[in-house]
Chains A and B, each alone.
Chain A
Amino acid sequence: METLLKILEELRPDVDFQENKALIDSGELDSFDIVSLVGELSEAFEIEIGAEDIIPENFNSVEAMMALVTKLQED
Chain B
Amino acid sequence: MIKELSDGQALWQEIVKRISGGQRTNLFLSEEEVLALVEKRRVSRMDFSGGVYFFAQEEDYIRLYYFLEKKILPEVLPVLPEPIILEEVALASKERMPSEEDWKRAGLQPYLQRKRLYLMAKTILPLKRAIKFATVDQLTEIFSTMQDNFEPYTSALPTEEELRKEILAKRVLVSLRGKELLGFLHFGENKQGSMLWHIAVMPQARGMGVAEGLTKDWFFAQKEGTKKFLLWVRTDNPPALRLYEKLGFLPDGRIAPVMIKTTKQRG
Evaluate contact between B190 and A27: CB separation under 8 angstroms.
yes
Say yes or no for B76: interface residue by CB 8 A criterion.
no
Evaluate contact between B91 and A30: CB separation under 8 angstroms.
no
Residues in B whose Cβ lies below 8 Å from that of A38: 19-20, 22
Evaluate contact between B192 and A11: CB separation under 8 angstroms.
no
Which residues of B line the A interface, CB within 8 A?
13, 16-17, 19-20, 22, 24-25, 28-30, 89, 91, 93, 118, 120, 190-192, 228, 250, 252-254
Evaluate contact between A53 and B30: CB separation under 8 angstroms.
no
Residues in B whose Cβ lies below 8 Å from that of A35: 19, 25, 28
Residues in A whose Cβ lies below 8 Å from that of B191: 26-28, 30
Evaluate contact between A32 and B254: CB separation under 8 angstroms.
yes
Evaluate contact between A11 and B91: CB separation under 8 angstroms.
yes
Evaluate contact between B91 and A54: CB separation under 8 angstroms.
no
Evaluate contact between B192 and A28: CB separation under 8 angstroms.
yes
Residues in B whose Cβ lies below 8 Å from that of A51: 13, 16-17, 19-20
Sample 8 A-B pairs with CB under 8 A, ordered by A number. Answer: A12-B252, A13-B253, A14-B118, A35-B25, A35-B28, A39-B24, A51-B13, A51-B16
Give which listed residue, B13, B28, B93, B250, contacts A31 with CB less than 8 A.
B28
Report how many A-B pairs have Cβ atoms within 8 Å. Answer: 52
Evaluate contact between B20 and A49: CB separation under 8 angstroms.
yes
Give which listed residue, A27, A43, A50, contacts B20 with CB less than 8 A.
A50
Which 10 pairs show the lowest CB-CB distances between chains A and B? Answer: A27-B191, A31-B28, A51-B16, A32-B28, A51-B20, A14-B252, A42-B22, A32-B89, A39-B22, A14-B118
How long is the Cα–Cα vector from A11 to B93 in the complex, in angstroms? Answer: 9
Say yes or no for A10: interface residue by CB 8 A criterion.
yes
Say yes or no for A70: interface residue by CB 8 A criterion.
no
**Distance between B189 CB and nearest chain A CB, rounded to angstroms:** 10
Residues in A whose Cβ lies below 8 Å from that of B19: 35, 38, 51, 54
**Distance between A42 CB and nearest chain B CB, rounded to angstroms:** 5
Residues in A whose Cβ lies below 8 Å from that of B16: 51, 54
**Distance between B51 CB and nearest chain A CB, rounded to angstroms:** 15
Give which listed residue, A10, A14, A27, A31, contacts B91 with CB less than 8 A.
A10
How long is the Cα–Cα vector from A27 to B254 in the complex, in angstroms? Answer: 17
Tell whether A10 pairs with B192 under 8 Å between CB atoms, given A32-B28, A38-B22, A51-B17. no
Residues in B whose Cβ lies below 8 Å from that of A36: 91
